[in-house]
Amino acid sequence: MSEIRKSFIFYSDWYDAICGLDDNTALEVSKAIMAIALRRKEPILSQTAKAMMMLIRPQIERDIEKWLDIKAKRQEIGRKGGVAKATNYYQLLPIGGKSKQDVASVAVNEDVNVNVESNIALLEEKNDTNVSVKKENKRFIKPTIEEIQAYIFEKGYAFDAEAFYAYYESNGWRVGRNPMKNWKMACTTWAKNRNNNNNNYGRETITDKIRRTVEEANAFSQQLTDRIGNQADVCDGDNSEVW
């Protein structure tokens, strides 16, 4: 049975993205977030909801891993019998942890072991979070084609995700001479440059050509239909000449 969590973090970026959806899809995505974050259940989703969850799910998984790690540390402390004395607590603090004065402020009562364990877990969680943020800021992780497609859908862009991926994969994910730091910003630049005919990024993709050809064929067909209809009205039943 999947482990049950009592709470989870809901980020403001998720709220902003969900507000842009229709009511049914917004409800579907919200329930999916809760099902995965609290119950580790895999919901059945529509295509639109799937695209949105591709952006949200990586953060949910990172939070779950962090929660499981903290839970394991608490269980390990419990197996060792907790912390009987404040001096033992100092040994369990992460490097750069709280001072002796901060530890002395922990209430000493009949349930002292539980209180100390909770404070240790909170300190370790804060320390892990700070390290994770620093590492994430330093190391660029290239996106998958699916992540690019989901971001294109979210922003309403109209370029080909595979073309974007192939271009930056071939040049080592660099912007000019510098390593790429934010692929989403690169997507925004790519979308803007796509409308500039003087820029190579604006070249027409195979998908664009197919879409344009279909649109032109439909327009031509409609013109023929309208012209035949107009000629028929003029002839008033005389089929001797249509054009």
Q: Is the pLDDT of residue 169 over 90?
A: yes
d(CA 107, CA 84): 13
Query: How confident is the model over 8-23, as pLDDT tens digits?
Result: 899 998 898 899 899 9
Q: What is the pLDDT of residue 109?
A: 40
Q: What is the pLDDT of residue 243?
A: 45
Run of H or E residues at 178: strand 178-179
Of the candidates 65, 18, 17, 73, which has an alpha carbon nearest to the alpha carbon of residue 37?
65
Q: Is the pLDDT of residue 186 over 90?
A: yes
Given a contact cutoff of 8 angstroms between Cβ atoms, the answer to whether 180 and 168 are in contact is yes
Given a contact cutoff of 8 angstroms between Cβ atoms, the answer to whether 51 and 20 are in contact is no
Give the pLDDT mean for 37-54.
89
d(CA 7, CA 204): 47
Query: How confident is the model over 69-101, as pLDDT tens digits?
Result: 888 888 888 877 655 444 455 555 554 555 545
* 195 or 154: which leads in pLDDT: 154
pLDDT band at 130 (very low <50, low <70, confident <90, very high): low
Alpha helices in 139-205 (DSSP H): 145-155, 161-170, 183-194
**CA distance to 54, 80, 120, 124, per residue, from 72 (Å):** 28, 13, 12, 12
